[in-house]
Structure 1
């Protein structure tokens, strides 16, 4: 009886939240405390509110509103968390030195499992509903959509857990149906296999984007297929194994690359539903509430609203371009920093992604665009000035992009190359599409290698340039077993940058510029071009030595460029780049102490 009452109480809370937005609706519904699970799922509106309760676990400070989006994906060869090392806070996570007592590992873990529990309840009861089998055609169609949504969201929650913690307890039924809630760990491959089956079913149940009755912030057929491709690549990739404490890939990995290839191919065949947005920057402005996503490039985004820590996000407040508290926009940004060498990975002339991805200036107290030192670059895809919220608010209603069509193209190209032993013409064209958009439609996208290793290397590079700041890079490198390699390469590049050697031999020690009135309505590239630099335009000042004579007068402001990097930022206990990373160990997080204490069947593995 207690278990049944627990379910009733849960749905009472969800329904109360859902209906509280309308006084008339509240007056028309049953007493939530007495609604049975059967009654919930024999009502379309109640079922919808239960599914909304699953979506709710995607957002807020403990999910993609901050910690899972901004803290967990750091650090690779692109961005890191700002500040000095402490094993018990966000810097411990970003420097691969998190202790099992780090509280940042607690609530996100619990919230992901809460989302799974809510999904499990819907997945059990929706197919048992009378409406599912015997309702009108419209009712049956809607119930199938809700069923597909629950399956897809559960897969997303599990995927996030597995890629951060490895093997974990697998529960695919409501807690009320469990004889024992203290489950041991299940091999991640078994869980992924179930998720792939679930997503295959979900893709049959869900409509395409333009056929969906809901907004873009709810999952569709494209979401399910794209997530299935992503999970298939994770299943077929390298992973830290509990039995050996080694990064390994299973012999049947090509079976899963074939799944990814097929799912991406089916999405690519529906350009009426999902395609590349021709304007790279507009993708991210859209997430801030500017304009629309007419091409459906974003297959799924996590919606943020409400101005609170539960249903909103701190995107563009915690992370993103720095906005001075006294600027006309209010305080924002600064929590995530870029490696200066990332700036030099982009084509210096044509690639529009650089100036969107990397914020190399800040909005100062006078609301001017003021250059920052090379150690102060931020992630530029999130900017308070792109929202319509000013003042002291930390919650800016900025959505998080979980999956884009560019990812579909590059996953297809990667899978095709691996399956066929070399890229097909379709794989080459998929990569070329992404490059052409980055080069503003130019047909001159450079040479694309025709051999397997060369093409794979090109994919590795392209994904670095395309998805910077979107929480993807670290997990890509893990499934390729390249994380340690790229961290070591980045340290070497930073040292060359500091010393002015190798490809950085002409990088200037200092940059001189005059701050320019910041205009949030113009493109990122245009805003940088409006800044007056001493020694030439942007095509020169970043790539040639500092002029022999410093400019006279007080208008020019000097910032350190190559001179901003020192050994402390490269290899020190406080600030070193990914200082505490250890291969075959730190690819995963430790379980939080309290979680272990609550389940006597859980173990702290992977060398922790």
Structure 2
């Protein structure tokens, strides 16, 4: 049964957000009297903090941040050069300051921060954080932790996409100065990390709260301390289009190591053995605590874009033979990623879907041959079809952080500080054990990890690979490539890998499938004859032949143009070898700043 958590958030937030917002830094605010009343009791304070969550229900997050903004990478991509539309500008790294998608994300990020600041100040001024009633005291401190962590999330996003941005660290008040200049992204990240460190010990675990992983809990905050610490300690783009990391970066790797270790020590859990079920749970509206997912955005039925613009394609409509509606996927998976997996790794066929569901409610090979879908979600996994003409609003939750991520962050940070120690190797092994049948652990887990643990550099590259295999389709790769400083390098490797696959298929020199052969078996299940290798011919004429890697060759251009153009600005942008991932501040924000903000630098 679908949780009502998000519905309560939306309903509660409605009265708290019934204010205009003429500009991101100058919203009308709740009166002091209202704030004093709201945060004087647990029930209303809960509603106040729920207002911060409500912004996840806007397009700024639903389709843009959770999906569109997070491409292109070596494992998820989309063509941006084919159009001048807003989303295409973003995919092609050529977004103008008039781009509406940028304005929407910027605006709602600061609205969420505004509401977080209102909650933080209201809770701190309430006197309830030191209440003599232990239940009230604990609940109010937990609510403070939620607001602090959500604020940190939105500033993390702002600094990834805009670098230095205004740091709004106060609730709006009449007569306040809202014309803030840009603050250094390192200062911002340091502040929000420290804020989370200050509150996390007074927060509750997911199994102690009424909505579990559908709201922020202590395990998510601990994980976010580590995630933002790695962001703070990682590389970032300077205005002169150079990549740099701060001289104190090891201090933040230590924070990441210490706080992942703290979560592992205090609230360890075995990763669920069934990798597919981790994501199927979201389509089945199951949100287990003490499992892999630490926090997922709780979309209500009728809200959310999961399985509409991300996931397996389902062809629906009023004339379809099913009532699951229509959905596709904006971010395809390149064949280089698909073939990077060990063929025995169970994560590949969960992550990479080579089929779609047609209007007759039958599975068939994906459109456009190599347009591999993100297979972790699909509207046809829903138990109650949402209607033949439905599209958006599946109600499928979106995972924000998993425990597997915590384990790999620990391994990465420990390696950076001390090399591939036994502790670092063990956390990598824990993630890989789920990926393979237990009978293969000696070779695929223990043997593999030993082989990549000879030195810090090799182990780091193994972490880069493992994070790709573990989190494909979850749209966090872009953030990792940025902080690792290898974004352009990975794009170049992807293009060269695709070209080689196309050449080998055309010249007949490769062992990978130039064609794939598929059919529906006796049970009606979609089956591929040769998902891993080339075959000369199918055993009989019951198989459908589809050009696969061969389709990447083009008689006119040598290679399909998406290979040479999708990542072009990631390789040969304004400064070759450096990805200009920073976007211009929206024109409306620049205008409203009365000269405080501008778009100098970054080659704009």
TM-score category (smaller protein): 0.7 to 0.9
Distance 1:559 1:321 in 2: 19
1:316 to 285, 307, 316: 307
1:390 aligns with 2:398: no
1:506 aligns with 2:496: no
Residue of structure 1 equivalent to 2:7 = none
Residue of structure 1 equivalent to 2:3 = none
Residue of structure 2 equivalent to 1:27 = none
Instruction: Give per-residue Cα distances to partners, 1:71-97, cap 9 Å, x unaligned.
Output: 011011011135753243212212323
* Post-superposition offset of 1:137: 2.1
Distance 1:140 1:435 in 2: 41
Distance 2:113 2:148 in 1: 10
Residue of structure 2 equivalent to 1:580 = 569
Distance 2:254 2:409 in 1: 11
Distance 1:54 1:229 in 2: 22
Provide TM-score, normalisation by structure 2: 0.87
Equivalent pair of 2:353/2:375 in contact (CA under 8 Å): yes
Equivalent pair of 1:51/1:122 in contact (CA under 8 Å): yes
CA RMSD of aligned residues (A): 2.7
Matches of residues 23-34 of structure 1 in structure 2 within 5 Å?
Answer: none
Distance 1:177 1:517 in 2: 71
Provide TM-score, normalisation by structure 1: 0.86
Residue of structure 1 equivalent to 2:481 = 477
Distance 2:405 2:78 in 1: 24
* Post-superposition offset of 1:226: 0.3
SS of residue in 2 equivalent to 1:365: coil
Equivalent pair of 2:233/2:245 in contact (CA under 8 Å): yes
* Post-superposition offset of 1:290: 4.4
* Post-superposition offset of 1:136: 2.1
Equivalent pair of 2:38/2:44 in contact (CA under 8 Å): yes
Instruction: Give per-residue Cα distances to partners, 1:454-481, cap 9 Å, x unaligned.
Output: 1001000000100011111111111111
Equivalent pair of 1:314/1:395 in contact (CA under 8 Å): yes
With 176-185 and 396-405 compared, the bigger mean Cα shift is at: 176-185
Matches of residues 39-438 of structure 1 in structure 2 within 5 Å?
Answer: 39-63=37-61, 65-81=62-78, 85-134=82-131, 136-176=133-173, 179-242=176-239, 244-271=240-267, 274-307=269-302, 312-325=303-316, 326-328=320-322, 329-348=324-343, 350-372=344-366, 373-387=368-382, 388-391=384-387, 392-393=389-390, 394-420=392-418, 422-438=419-435
2:460 to 456, 461, 467: 456
Equivalent pair of 2:226/2:259 in contact (CA under 8 Å): yes
CA gap 1:267/1:569 in 2 versus in 1, 3 angstroms? farther
With 67-76 and 590-599 compared, the bigger mean Cα shift is at: 590-599
Distance 2:127 2:379 in 1: 47
Equivalent pair of 2:516/2:547 in contact (CA under 8 Å): yes
Distance 1:220 1:602 in 2: 35
SS of residue in 2 equivalent to 1:116: helix
Equivalent pair of 1:58/1:302 in contact (CA under 8 Å): yes
Distance 1:205 1:76 in 2: 38
Residue of structure 2 equivalent to 1:524 = none
Q: What count of residue pairs does the alignment treat as equivalent?
A: 559
Equivalent pair of 2:76/2:473 in contact (CA under 8 Å): yes
* Post-superposition offset of 1:98: 2.1
With 405-414 and 263-272 compared, the bigger mean Cα shift is at: 263-272
Runs of 5+ consecutive residues of structure 2 not aligned to the other structure: 1-9, 19-29
CA gap 1:550/1:44 in 2 versus in 1, 3 angstroms? same
* Post-superposition offset of 1:293: 2.4
Distance 1:297 1:426 in 2: 20
* Post-superposition offset of 1:15: 6.0
* Post-superposition offset of 1:168: 0.2
Distance 2:131 2:148 in 1: 21
SS of residue in 2 equivalent to 1:301: strand
With 49-58 and 387-396 compared, the bigger mean Cα shift is at: 387-396
CA gap 1:168/1:517 in 2 versus in 1, 3 angstroms? farther
Equivalent pair of 2:206/2:289 in contact (CA under 8 Å): no
* Post-superposition offset of 1:183: 1.0
Residue of structure 1 equivalent to 2:549 = 562
Equivalent pair of 2:517/2:538 in contact (CA under 8 Å): no
CA gap 1:570/1:44 in 2 versus in 1, 3 angstroms? farther
Residue of structure 2 equivalent to 1:525 = none
Equivalent pair of 2:314/2:379 in contact (CA under 8 Å): yes
Residue of structure 2 equivalent to 1:24 = none
Residue of structure 2 equivalent to 1:447 = 448
